[in-house]
Chain A
């Protein structure tokens, strides 16, 4: 009888399927939208780019937006999977823990200080958002950890709610004090939209997402052990404190980076790791990359709905994810436990 569960072939095969699903989403969704795009015309080199309306919509509006959705969805899902593992609680996610609102506060402070998105090549708003996220998770972690190193659901959720209220109040305070232009920028950003982007912004966040994701992959097996219990992980040779620090910092980096661009988009980091775990199991070495691809596809699809459901009006994608995520969260909370 074979007890092999994850040989390299099966691993590559499963991940390949997720990647194909992601590619299919990438290929199909740019063509969906209010304005019909003639692909032949868009790709034609006979018409000058500035005169080619189809190409303009495709390359300057839809494709950057879809890439941003992919990066945001992927990063939030990976961060959610890591938070769930480190806190050994499957209701943990960037949004429910208040990490997204911490990131939002960081970003709002940077915006209200009048900092532009990048200062001398340094992406200031994402860094501020990352610091906000890190502050939030540190707060929630220290508030909700019991003496035995567990994170009871009720305490964790209360800590998350507290953090959410606190950061929201701070955001409101800063918003109230800011002048008209800043206020408009803040509101616009807080709504959580994927529509304000260009390739330069996209490129600027890629390295941080790549670093965060790669480092988390390197500690995948350590994270598996921590998700089964801190003390038994220690007895198997895991440097728990170090892995917790790396995990929280990298998951905050992922959250902060994408929240800085897309605003706080809720529930993606909660829903996606759950669905993927049902499909591939809880091993983070597979769960993380699969969540990356699936989360990317998921947010692209949600955004496609947001763009088209009451066209010509485009609604913020955060509304779609919240409409899906709210009931999902309630189901998670109320489902029978064994």
Chain B
């Protein structure tokens, strides 16, 4: 029995007066590929930010390798867990390679420049994500799909054990969605990287994830294998639409609107 790499215990979270998570608990095992799904506003981003250490909560709620998040130094934490935002708007004209190299921050002390080893790590990360060819271009000049790959390259450069991504595919066309998911799957297979990501496309979620966590109004509605979570009745209740499910030839689940009796 492996011990969990990430744990969240009975955690609620509110912004101002609005509660977005209600006593959520889950364990994530090393090497899992977990998809967090649910309607807009169901608390996916908040859950991922908590797991990523970007939002803080009371002690005794979040654990990495069975030790409280609060007992890690920030840089120590960043060497193990990285969180990737949904939005990559950048005000200042950083180059792609500068963005990727920022992933080395948790390994460097104050006012130092990245050394040869750091540059080598960044180069490898860019090769794996096919971003090396535009290393010298401005981050703001490249397309959305390219940006997402660059940000993932930065995360790889951080050499974490857990990668948490907030809707990495939502703004992309199908080609880039599959490209990103393939990169993540490769990391998961080759390096046992634990991946936790929020997704909207339920079909792709069922294809790539070993486990799905379905959120509904800040609560975990169901947590389990894709075929157990993506049930007609679950989806109809949580999303509030009539659907029917189709299995593709791999047995992955596709969801189609039930056009005859839409509510």
Main secondary structure of the interface of A (DSSP, over half): loop
For A285, what are the chain B residues with a Cβ–Cβ distance below 8 Å?
A: 111, 113
Q: Does B61 contact A (CB under 8 A)?
A: no
Q: Could you mark each residue 19-51 of chain A with 1 if its beta carbon is under 8 Å from any beta carbon of chain B, else 0?
A: 000000000000000000000000000000000
Given known contacts A5-B95, A89-B91, A237 and B83 CB-to-CB distance under 8 angstroms? no
Indicate which residue in B49, B74, B110, B135 contacts A219 across the interface (CB closer than 8 Å): B110
* CB of A317, distance to nearest CB on chain B (Å): 29
A206-234 contact mask (Cβ, 8 Å, vs B): 1 or 0: 00000000000111111011011101101
From B54, B122, B132, B133, contact of A234 by CB (8 A): B54
B202 contacts the other chain (Cβ, under 8 Å)?
no
Q: How far is the CA of A5 from the CA of B15 in the complex (A)?
A: 40
B78 touches which one: A221, A228, A235 (CB < 8 A)? Answer: A235
Residues of B57-94 contacting chain A, CB below 8 A:
74-79, 81-85, 90-94
B16 within 8 Å of A (CB atoms): yes
Name which residue of chain A comes closest to B107, CB basis.
A237
Query: Which residue of chain A has its CB nearest to the CB of B83?
Result: A235
Check if A235 sits within 8 Å of B53, measured CB to CB: yes
Chain A 254-281 interface residues, beta-carbon cutoff 8 Å to B: 277, 281
Do B98 and A283 have beta carbons less than 8 Å apart? yes
Contact of B79 among A229, A237, A282 (CB under 8 A): A237
Asked if A3 is at the interface (CB within 8 A of a chain B CB), the reply is yes
Q: Which residue of A lies closest to B82 (CB)?
A: A235
Given A1-B132, A237-B105, verify A282-B140 contact (CB < 8 Å): no
Interface residues in chain B, defined as those with a beta carbon under 8 Å from any beta carbon in chain A: 15-16, 49, 52-54, 74-79, 81-85, 90-95, 97-103, 105-106, 108, 110-114, 119, 122-123, 126, 132-133, 135-136, 140, 158
Given A7-B113, A147-B15: 7 more A-B contacts, CB < 8 Å: A11-B113, A224-B102, A235-B81, A235-B82, A237-B105, A283-B98, A285-B111
Pairs across A and B, CB under 8 Å, 12 listed: A4-B119, A219-B110, A224-B102, A228-B94, A229-B85, A232-B83, A232-B85, A236-B102, A237-B78, A237-B79, A281-B94, A281-B95
Residues of A within 8 A of B (CB): 1, 3-8, 11, 85, 88-90, 147, 217-222, 224-225, 227-229, 231-232, 234-239, 277, 281-283, 285, 338
